[in-house]
Structure 1
Amino acid sequence: MKKILPIVSLLTVTTCFAQKEKALSDSAKFNKYLSGNTSSFIFNGQKPIGRGWEILEKQFADNQFVAWGEYHNSTLLSRLSAYALEAASKHGFKNWCVEVSPFVASELMRIAAGKNPYDSLLAVSKDHPTYGTFPFFKTGEDALMLAAAEKYKYTIWGIDQEFQMAFPYGINRVYNAQSPKIKQAYQAVRDSLLAKWWMPKVKLLDSLRNGIPQENYKRVLDDIKLSRTIYYEDNSLMRAALMKKNFYAYYDSAKSKNEKVFFKMGANHLAKGLNLMTHLYDIGNSVYELSQHNQTNFTNIYFILRYTTEDGKIIDDFESAESDYPKEFLKLYDKEKWVLVDLRPLRVRYNNDKTLTEDTYQIIDKYDFIVVSPEVKK
């Protein structure tokens, strides 16, 4: 019996030690890993400087697909993205995938090749300058991205639906490309389509489509028709399927299966696994699996924003009862710096003890990096 006691004592000590290890809360683990995997960079509109930017730039060297998941309509992020396009080009990136339709992507490439892209964007949006005609492309900073794309010889891939604000532009573009005879025959159809441009009648779209010879303009009308359905039904599944279809049309026509692609789209579309909002497998997951098939790499970066301005008042997302982003990351905000967290080492075994928010667990699983922007967005 005496010989057994030391063994029992050892087991007791080991068990107690293991229990102490298990008792470490998820938040304690998170903060421990966070402290060693956070860096930053400064960006004053010129070249980004700092360890955080060096890490972001290295992703272009290490991956076939790099995805920047943005918060939309940020002039500061557009300016930073222009530098990202330059950095990516040094590592063989020549394809830029954005959240517009294939037709709008071709229009953006035409505008980028012109003498003054910003003036062209202003001209395109002259009828509704507040929200623009092409989604996410309306400011001088957006024009800087287009200038960078032209300078570094990118092909712009537009994989999304046609957005409603571009419906009239597309309809007019199709109509104006026709012969005088066709224009005369279909002027009433065009006018009727524009009268209810936000939800044009399918019969009228089909009528114009059947009366024109050009396949590329038929596709424009097809996209408007499909997008109309997506809007009417609020059909996220149809939209996700369209993104994948359009992406693979570009990818399959590329010279090499190892073509590098830089994505700049809404962050939720670029998650690994299920989209956090729609709970569907979106384009980000498809490209992630494609990289596994190719035995290359995919990385996604989630950009988040703490402060916005509404009616002249600054809104702090950290103080919101239903914040858009996890408070665990918002607390890292620095008004002088962009704060970068490498999430990959944080994928340790958690107990789901609810000391972290559910969104935090999800983001750690679905994204490789998170960037907290210093911007106070208007």
Structure 2
Amino acid sequence: MKKGLFMIALLIFNLAFGQEKKKATDEEKLTKCILENTNYFTFNGQKPDGKGWDILENLFANNQFVAWGEYHNSPLLSQLTNYALESASKYGYKTWCAEISPFAAAELMRIAKSKNPLDTISRIANERPNFTTFPFFQTKEDIGMLTTANQFGYTIWGIDQEFQTAFPYCLDKVYQAQPKNTRERFKAVYDSLQASWWNPEAKLLDSLKKGIKQPNLKRVLDDIKISKDIYYYSDNQRRADLMKTNFYNYYDGLKTKNEKVFFKMGSNHLARGMNLETNLYDIGNAVYELAQRNKTNFSNVYIMVRYTEEEGVITDDLEEKNNQNPKVFSKLYDKDKWVLVDIRSLRLRMRYDNSLTSDTYKMIEKYDYVLVSPEILK
């Protein structure tokens, strides 16, 4: 009888101990993380205010590379970037890396120094009304970023392909920079290139390249040749390789390898590990590994928007079957505040028990912070 009672007591103890040691699911861990690591800030176009912004600003103090993975074409986000550039400059940042070509970066820096950059950009746009010459630098808020960058002495690094609809502008700049005799000699070549601007022939680009002397303009023609193939073949691998090549061309030219760089590019490019869309190792992973090599730090922020509006119709990404962002983060949306979640603590604690969606797991693996915008993107 005593033996039976002992066995029952032991069973009860083991059950109680087992319940005590029951491991939390990944969903429970994420819920706890969100409760403990979510902060907010407000922003009405003036200075951001709140602990969330203080945390973002502090990233510039503690990292060599800070990456803002953005959603594109947001005037509000461009306004916020003004303050990021200003904040970063306090901690020694003088380099801004953007999703544009090296030639576009040089042109934008030149335009930023002009008397009225917005007028200059508007004039270029009006001259080519059906062409986007400088992607992500079109609105007055975008040009505000250029003005701020110039004010605080930034160098802009353009590491991407040449934008396809910018080909005519680039070709014109190359051609018009030549002496009269060269223009006369290559007029037929130039006219043929412009006639098929969306896919100019490589042999014609090479012909014009051999006839000019300026190294920087030769590189523009090389960039067009590479870029047209990336577009034609939808070659994401080559684009990722080009971004890394262009980045290291800039980086290798530095006097010190401790240069601090602020990245503002499409969020997928700035993932740690593989790009979320292409499943290729992109520039974000390269810079992360460079920070490891330098024994410095890299931090990336996934910036997302829940609501978009097109032709008066508002779309809620949370309700979409093919959602763009993990729904668990869309649920955090606040119409009056920016919501910042620090998800770093989860990376080593995941059990991968399938209690979270696959896009949520990927977000946790690849980013340090998630920032949910309050805007309705138009």
Q: With the length of structure 1 as denominator, give the TM-score of the two structures.
A: 0.96
- 1:211 CA displacement: 1.1
2: CA distance between counterparts of 1:127 and 1:239?
29
Q: 2:17 aligns with which of 1, 5, 14?
A: 14
2: CA distance between counterparts of 1:331 and 1:37?
15
- 1:203 CA displacement: 1.5
Matched, 1:292 2:292: yes
- 1:351 CA displacement: 3.4
Equivalent AA in structure 2 for residue 325 of structure 1: N
Query: Judging changes above 3 Å, is the alpha-carbon distance between structure 1 residues 74 and 129 closer, same or farther for their aligned structure 2 residues?
Result: farther
Moved more, 1-10 or 210-219: 1-10
Query: Judging changes above 3 Å, is the alpha-carbon distance between structure 1 residues 314 and 339 closer, same or farther for their aligned structure 2 residues?
Result: same
2: CA distance between counterparts of 1:127 and 1:325?
37
Query: Judging changes above 3 Å, is the alpha-carbon distance between structure 1 residues 202 and 131 closer, same or farther for their aligned structure 2 residues?
Result: closer
- 8 Å CA contact 1:71–1:267 kept in 2: the answer is yes
2: CA distance between counterparts of 1:7 and 1:252?
67
Q: Which residue of 1 aligns with 2:171?
A: 171
2: CA distance between counterparts of 1:129 and 1:372?
33
Q: Deviations over 1:270-322 (max 9, x none)?
A: 00001010101100001001101111000000100111111211111111111
Q: Which residue of 2 aligns with 1:97?
A: 97
- 8 Å CA contact 2:291–2:297 kept in 1: the answer is yes
Identical-residue share of aligned pairs (%): 57
Equivalent AA in structure 2 for residue 68 of structure 1: W
Q: Which residue of 1 aligns with 2:180?
A: 180
- 8 Å CA contact 1:34–1:346 kept in 2: the answer is no
Matched, 1:200 2:200: yes
SS at match of 2:80: helix
Q: How does 1:323-362 map to 2 (within 5 A)?
A: 323-362=323-362
- 1:130 CA displacement: 6.4
Q: Deviations over 1:3-59 (max 9, x none)?
A: 9856665444323433xx23x432222111111110111110011111100000000
Q: Deviations over 1:313-353 (max 9, x none)?
A: 11111111111001100011111111100111233533333
- 1:128 CA displacement: 4.1
- 1:219 CA displacement: 0.5
1: CA distance between counterparts of 2:318 and 2:131?
27
- 1:194 CA displacement: 0.9
**Runs of 5+ unmatched residues, structure 1:** none
SS at match of 1:264: strand
Q: Which residue of 1 aligns with 2:259?
A: 259
SS at match of 2:126: coil
- 8 Å CA contact 1:122–1:129 kept in 2: the answer is no
SS at match of 2:261: strand
- 8 Å CA contact 2:318–2:330 kept in 1: the answer is yes
Q: How does 1:1-378 map to 2 (within 5 A)?
A: 5=7, 10-18=13-21, 21-22=22-23, 24-129=24-129, 132-378=132-378
Q: Deviations over 1:183-215 (max 9, x none)?
A: 011111111111111111112111111111111
**Runs of 5+ unmatched residues, structure 2:** none
- 8 Å CA contact 1:41–1:337 kept in 2: the answer is yes
RMSD across aligned C-alpha pairs, in angstroms? 1.6
Equivalent AA in structure 1 for residue 302 of structure 2: Y
2: CA distance between counterparts of 1:65 and 1:257?
12
SS at match of 1:334: coil
SS at match of 1:126: helix
Equivalent AA in structure 2 for residue 14 of structure 1: F
Equivalent AA in structure 2 for residue 298 of structure 1: F
Equivalent AA in structure 1 for residue 341 of structure 2: V
Query: Judging changes above 3 Å, is the alpha-carbon distance between structure 1 residues 291 and 348 closer, same or farther for their aligned structure 2 residues?
Result: closer
- 1:153 CA displacement: 0.3
Equivalent AA in structure 2 for residue 367 of structure 1: Y
Equivalent AA in structure 1 for residue 187 of structure 2: Q
- 8 Å CA contact 2:270–2:283 kept in 1: the answer is yes
- 8 Å CA contact 2:33–2:343 kept in 1: the answer is no
Equivalent AA in structure 2 for residue 15 of structure 1: G
2: CA distance between counterparts of 1:97 and 1:16?
51
1: CA distance between counterparts of 2:252 and 2:78?
28
2: CA distance between counterparts of 1:376 and 1:161?
29
